[in-house]
Structure 1
Amino acid sequence: MANHKSALKRHKQSLVRNARNRAMKTRVKNAIKAVREAVTLGDKEKATVALKAATSVLDKAATKKVIHWRNAGRKVSRLSVAVSKLG
């Protein structure tokens, strides 16, 4: 554990950021799971709504640098292809 005042502050900040990033990653995983479940059920309307929500969550995670922007783009692309195949 850190002994200097500034090091203690940095440690506390890292714990807060770690919790925030973990929450964002969980949100991303849940959004992706919702789209995939709708696709497996074959529900086009539900999948489209879930895709819109997932795109928003992924873009926000990429903006906050929780995940890489290319990773977010790839996930959005693959999910939208899966939803469009339902048509």
Structure 2
Amino acid sequence: MDSVFLLEHVYEIGNGVEERKRIGVYLSEEDARFRIGRLRLQPGFRDRPEDFVIQRFEIDRSYWAEGYGGGDGSSSKPEVIAPG
């Protein structure tokens, strides 16, 4: 199973509104974690170093095939990997 890893920096800014920065898509989880290490101390990230999110997406797989908001969607959501 081939996968890619989406790296984002996501946090709530108030009233249920999210700030989301899509940083990049990487061929391995290790590459995404390396990028976190490089960005963690940079402006725009250093005040919220715990808010990086990595998601694993399988290549050639559709997500949310049953629609968005129907059921729990557990079989169609991408895997979220919590950076360590």
What is the TM-score of this pair, normalised by structure 2?
A: 0.31
- Whose radius of gyration is greater, 1 or 2? 1
TM-score relative to the length of structure 1: 0.30
Higher fraction of helix: 1
Higher fraction of strand? 2
Select the structure with the greater relative contact order (CA < 8 A; seq sep ≥ 6): 2
